[in-house]
Each structure stands twice: as structure tokens, then as C-alpha cells.
Structure 1
Amino acid sequence: MRTFIIACIFFISGTVNGQQNGLAKIKDYDLSKIWTSGGSTDIDEPDFFTTKRPDFRGFIGDNYQRIYIQIDEVIKDHSDQLTYYVRGYSIVKGNRCTFLGTIKIDSTEIKERPPLSAIQGAESLVDMNKVSHFGKAYCTYELFENKNQKWTGFFKGSLSTKFYLTNENEIKYDAAGGFSDSYMNNTYIGTWTSYSSGNSKTCNWGEFRIPESGDLDIGAGGFSPNPKYIENGWKEN
């Protein structure tokens, strides 16, 4: 653990009464579990939705080549409480590259839960009686692949995460809207840039669906890849 934190440090070279108050409030919570792969959707009605978050779906490049992203560990920096250190790996066409990097929270929207009479559908997945606020965190990320491995570069872009706060002052992954066909969370939008050539490619990924994925996703009730991209890693979606 100590080695991981020290290594990550080298890679760092609305609202509740306004955005600043939102940032001050989010410092009191730890989003590590929400960002680590394979966590819980924090729902209360498993008969209607999955209790485990799915693996990230993602693409890289104009041909929507599939990329696998795994985030194994996230640690909050307790000195700069808006910064988190990240460890994980990517896989493209069987080439696996480990990465280290950071997620930094830039802004937040945190709003009180609407009256129960105004909420439609979400109560089937989450007990609204225990929810005090709903929120979104808007972040920037930089993830640097190991230069000693093949075909490496770095990821850079923006991350959006939906969460809710409980009456017990806990932060939870917000899948209250999981009944919606377009539902997605932990959405990463950005680029991957090659160390060797300096060339960049669009690279987006997310949970449940992929943000800004053009005509790749043609599914109605859930993610379904366009047949014309099947040979680019989407035979198993």
C-alpha cells in the first residue's frame, strides 16, 4: 500500500449553497469504493436490477476498437481531499498495460432529495426514505501506463459520477435510475495518447453504457454493439 501511494504521488507534476460549499461537503466523504471496479450498485430491490456493478465497457479510436479498463485500487489523498490515487490496467487486442494515476474532483452538484410524491420509478430500486441528497461529482483524470510495456501511453479526460447521501451520512453509488434504458454511471470521456508517437485517440468508457459512443451502441433496453464493429472486439459484449 505504501509503495502504491508513493508511486502515485509522482504522477501529480450544483449544489448545496453554491459550488464551493459542494466541494467542501464532498471532502467529508470517500469515493474510493464508488470508483473501484466490481463494487455494489447500492440498490435495495435486487429482483429489478443487478446488485453488482458491471465491468467497464469502452472503446478507443474512430473504429470503436474495444478497450477493457479495470480499476483495482483507489486511495484518497488525506492532505488534498479532492485528489485520489488510482491503480489498474487496460487491455486492447490482448495487450495488457498497467497504469497509475489520479482522479481530481473539480466540482459537484448536491441537492436535497425531492419529496417522495415527486419521485417516479426510483423508489423501486432504492428506499427513498433513507436518502437525504442526490449528487454528481465532475472530475478530471490522468492515468499513465507503464512505459516499460508494449504500445503504451496515457489517458486523460473527464469523469462524471452519480451518488446519493444517506440519512446516516454515508455516500452510495446512485443506481436509483437504473430502470432507465439509457442509465449509465462512472462515465469517462477523453483521449489516449501514445508515448512514442504523441498521437491521440478518442477513448471513452463507462458502467452499463458508454458515453459519446456514436453509432457503436444500437441497443434499446441495454448496450448492444453495432454489427459493423463486431470484429473490433465486440463479439462478446
Structure 2
Amino acid sequence: MKRTFYPILLAGLLTACQHPSEKVVVTSEPAAVLPTTVVSKATRPPVVVCDSAVSSAMPDSMAPAMRAFARQHDLSGVWQGLDEADSAGLQSPTVCDGFFGPDHYRIELVLQKITRDAADPLLYHVQGKDKYKRQVTPFTGTIRLRQLRSVPIKSFEYELQGEFARFYTALGEFSWREMGSKSAGVFKGQIGVDFQQKADSSLIATYFMGDDKRQFAKGWRMHFDGEWTSSLTGQRKQLLASANIEGIGSTVFSDFNVGERSFSINPKYAKLGWNELWENDEWWADSPKPSLSL
């Protein structure tokens, strides 16, 4: 009896530990414009060990052409929210603002370094930081790409580039563990990013108007929706953040913006950390950058 039971148990464990990304749900999403080469399932490295960093709660849902695009193109910079390079040729990750916990206190997030997994092109390894009530905490973890769509645009900030660019929206599942703090915890949830492929085939995160009901970042470049769990007490807090605080703020507080012609935060929310919105202290930098005194 034991000789029969153990092989069956082993086969069941191997089946349960197959990576969720191998389950493909074919949708009616439009095909990618660029020619791509589909990597056959037979050539993928075998996956036996379960990926405990990201749960399988959200199924992989990409059309075959979108999956091929995702395997052909590295989205590391897109997940960071990298935009056009500045005059010095440098790109900086997008710092997102958000609402944290039942009182919706301000929190800031930045993904400083992202690398694509060498064996699994849909898995990305993340290093970042968050700032909450003046405390800066580093975190590490993963993002797994779950959905990818191409999006026809209605309008775009850079008209000429828009004639040659192709636009996409991606949805990922994230799991990040904070480090070096007694109040550390684990962030889990979804990250959406809207991005474009320029005429030279490079990818950058960007704002554009297409179909915000189908855009995972809602046209706001980057969008986070998740939950934080304390590693010490198990306490849970909701997280909602975006690259566009004006857009996301009105979904939390109806009177968040009191400006008539320009964005202006209601003074009554200053006690929740929003009086510091315009401070540009680059809190995420590992060492302070020199400043010029005039």
C-alpha cells in the first residue's frame, strides 16, 4: 500500500507546484503590432518549486500575441515608471503618492531597481522604499505580470511621437517585504502601468487617454491597489496609490481638491501628511545629493 501511495503523492505535489503562469487563458485582446517570436512551452525551463513570493490568486490572462510581446520585451523600466530621459540622459523612477490605512494617511512609494528573472520572463525582482510619517523603509520582493493589452489612444501629450508610438497597459501582482524596522510588514496587491513603445522600439511609462476602463493604471501612468500586513501583529491596512494624486485623491475624499483652475489640496487634510506634497527632498536617495547655494 505504501509503495503505491508515495508515487501518487509525489505526482500530486509536482502538479500543485507548477507555476500559475503556465495556465494560459486566451482572450480576444488585439494582437501586438510588432512581429514576435513565440517561445514554445517545450523550450521553457521546467518549474518544479512553487513561487511563494507571489500567490496564484490572480490567474494569468494574456492573449498569445501579448504573451509573446511580454517575453520579447523587458518591462523592468516600465514597472519603475521610467519616463523620457532628461537633458543629461538620465531617467528617474516615478514616486507615487497614496492613501494608507483607515485614516488614509499619506504614503509614498518608489521602485528603485527592478530586474527580470533570467529563467521566467514574466517575473520581476524588486527593490524599493516607502515613506510613511517621515519613516523611510526599504523593501524587496517581486512583481509577476498577469495581464497585458494594447490600447488605441484618443489623445496624447506628444502629438508627433503619438503618430509612431504604440500604447499598452499592464497589470502585475506584487509582493514586497519591508526590512530593517520593528514596524515592518508585507505589501501585497496589484500594480497597473500604462506605457508606450516609441518609434525606436524603446518602452517608457506615460500618461495617455485611451480607454480608462480598460487601462490598468486608469490613464494615470502607475496605480497601486493592495494591502499591508504587519509582520509583528498581523494588523492589516489598505493601500491605494498612484502617479496622479489629483485623480486618485478625489476617489478617496470628494473634497480633496479645492482648487478652481489648478490642483490645490484641502487644508483640512494637512494633518494626514498632505501639507508636505510639494517638498522635493528626494527621500529615496541612498545619499543626499549636493545642492547649489545662490
TM-score by length of 1: 0.74
Between the two structures, name the one with larger relative contact order (CA 8 Å, sep ≥ 6). Answer: 1
Local SS of the residue matching 1:24 = helix
Aligned to 2:59: none
171, 184, 205: which is aligned to 2:220?
184
Q: 1:228 to 1:125 in 2, by over 3 A?
A: farther
Matches within 5 A, 1:38-77: 39-41=82-84, 55-77=95-117
Aligned to 1:84: 124
CA distance in 2, matches of 1:33, 1:223: 28
Q: Which runs of 5+ in 2 are unaligned?
A: 1-18, 20-28, 33-61, 213-217, 278-294
151, 161, 178: which is aligned to 1:127?
161
How far has the Cα of 1:163 moved from its partner?
1.1
16, 20, 28: which is aligned to 2:31?
16
CA distance in 1, matches of 2:219, 2:262: 9
* Structure number with higher helix proportion: 2
How far has the Cα of 1:214 moved from its partner?
1.1
Deviations 1:181-234 (A, max 9, x none): x85111011111111111211112111226474107426666543333210111
Aligned to 1:138: 171
CA distance in 2, matches of 1:134, 1:200: 36
CA distance in 2, matches of 1:123, 1:232: 32
1:196 paired with 2:239, answer: no
What is the one-letter code of the residue matched to 2:132?
V
What is the one-letter code of the residue matched to 1:168?
D
What is the one-letter code of the residue matched to 1:135?
Y
CA distance in 2, matches of 1:158, 1:218: 26
Q: 1:142 to 1:35 in 2, by over 3 A?
A: same
Local SS of the residue matching 2:67 = helix
Local SS of the residue matching 2:270 = helix
Aligned sequence identity (%): 23
Asked if structure 1 preserves the Cα contact closer than 8 Å seen for 2:149 and 2:170, the reply is yes
CA distance in 2, matches of 1:234, 1:93: 11
Deviations 1:148-181 (A, max 9, x none): 4121101111111111223433222232449x9x
Deviations 1:54-108 (A, max 9, x none): 5211121121111121221011112110111110111211222110010110011
Q: Tell me the C-alpha RMSD between the 2 structures.
A: 3.1
Asked if structure 2 preserves the Cα contact closer than 8 Å seen for 1:55 and 1:70, the reply is yes
Asked if structure 2 preserves the Cα contact closer than 8 Å seen for 1:29 and 1:170, the reply is no
What is the aligned length? Answer: 207
CA distance in 1, matches of 2:263, 2:243: 10
1:205 paired with 2:241, answer: yes
Local SS of the residue matching 1:168 = coil
Q: 1:222 to 1:142 in 2, by over 3 A?
A: farther
